[in-house]
Structure 1
Amino acid sequence: MSHPNCSSPSSFILTGIPGLEDAQFWIAFPFCTMYFMAVLGNTILLLLIKRDPSLHLPMFYLLSMLATIDLMLTTSTMPKLLSIFWFQSHEINFEGCVAQMFFIHIFSTVESGVLLTMAFDRYLAISKPLHYSAILTGPTIAKLGLAAVVRGTAIVTPLTCMVTNLSYCGPRVIHHSYCEHMSVVKLACGDTQPNSIYGITAATVVVGSDSILIAASYILILKEIIGLSSREACLKSFGTCGSHIGVILLFYVPGLFSFYTQRWGQRIPAHLHILMADLYLLVPPMLNPFIYGMRTKPIREQILRLLWQKGIQPRS
């Protein structure tokens, strides 16, 4: 079946949060605050790890990867989102939309791989402390990080190419705050089922396999914790694992909710779906520096040392 006047459009229109257009100006303030906290927290974490040689260890290399990914993930979406909410800058050119889509999905996929590696790192640190440094060396961490990037690129590149090869006709309005894959595909002419199947399958396989392996790692960690002789150490480890699991759930659950709602969630209010999709890219990057970084004793000591040095400096 032919579709007249079908081609790649010069631009799309992002609506923001459908149904909450009148409230978007005020919604932008907490969004901006969370974005500022995410950028500040992750930047401080990166600077602390870079300046202190004692933090040049596998766990902190992984924290650096996570912080870098979170900075890129939030910055690929939040500036445009805030410009929509505050300045009514709804238009985004086609190339910019495709680039934003690519960055959102690749950074999300890479972050999932890094979270899995961090869970494995914690398991080794608790279960095999004597062999930990020999197993997880700097080069090994670099290879694991590269593997996460290669996997993300291999999964997301076909997704992006499939979108650019589609023809678009009719309305060019994306009912979303950013260029999410399925929200763009819905505007295409012709058969988009391959795009839908690939997108849902990729999301399910990545999130499903990574979350199962992360859950297995933490189950093994909890088994090791139960065997600890010190009740205080046991409670502390439970608290740390609980906070990690909470942040991981905040990353995976809204993400899957967003993917599946785009395909099958017609009965779910659009504003609820879009809010969840926005927070999915904002809340974990805001919390990760505090949960994984500030609650880690060496990082906390570095921050307190810096604050103490600033506090005792004599006034000029």
Structure 2
Amino acid sequence: MSTPTAHPRPAAPASPARVAAARAGARTPGARPLRARTGFRLTFLVPGALALVLGLDAALGLLGLPQLLGPALGLARLPDVHGPLMVLGFVGTVISLERAVALGLPPGYTAPAVSGLAALAIVSPLPLPVGQGLLVLAQVTALLVYRQLLARQPAVAVTVQVLGATAALGASVLWLGGVPVPALTPWLVAFLVLTIFGERLELARTEVLSPAASRAALGIAVALLGSAVVSLLRPTRGSRSRGSACSPSPAGSPRRTSPAGPCVPPGCPGSSPPACSPGTPGSPSAGRSGRSAERSPRAVATTPCSTPSCSGSSSP
């Protein structure tokens, strides 16, 4: 006995107005949301581009070269804000715009907008605390964007970028509190390194990282941010821990030392004086010009100095 086939009920015909609206939307190229248009996104890059150009002009002044834009525009404090302008103003604006595009929500564009305004404010004739306060607000809004991205994708790569944004917030707060720009270097470096590190991890999603590799990446990121915190109280110890986090040396690796102490390249503080050159009285190769002439420069450079003049004591 055959069962009757059930025929689907035909759908109700769409109204002519709805069909016309759908056709008009398909034919109109400007039907995309405003935040998805290239011109809208490029407006947030304009302050970042200006920060880059002004930062390069400030670098000329710091190198002792004549500036091109600073004196012409009356930007007297441009060399003093070079570091925050380049790192937080230029790079911060670009990174926050990239994260806003990745989020895809209109509130996310608040971060690059405030960051661009802060970059222009710190070089303008406005009081410097105005620009510094805007920088703090920009980092807070960037962290709010990262919070939503982390809720959407709880991955190690996003967590590392959150730690980088935290370093940027710490640098902004410290600068607003009166900490000089040279002391902000560990925080600015942590922001740059952790942001790039997190993005490289994010691009490596095609290859699944092992749990051990993920834990190692997160541990390095936490150690780098911790070294910035330690540098506020112990600058030397913070620099050492930051170097260990970025480039750990293999355990048990030998260190070459000379009788006078560690091997220091010539010209650096603590290096041996030029009395250790071949043919100088008191040097190991004195009186043996024939043999020293046959030596290669590398052999001469690596010859340890054992005379009093080379070991740090004063020559007679």
Q: TM-score, normalization: structure 2?
A: 0.34
Normalized per residue, which structure has more helix? 1
Higher relative contact order (CA 8 A, sep 6+): 1
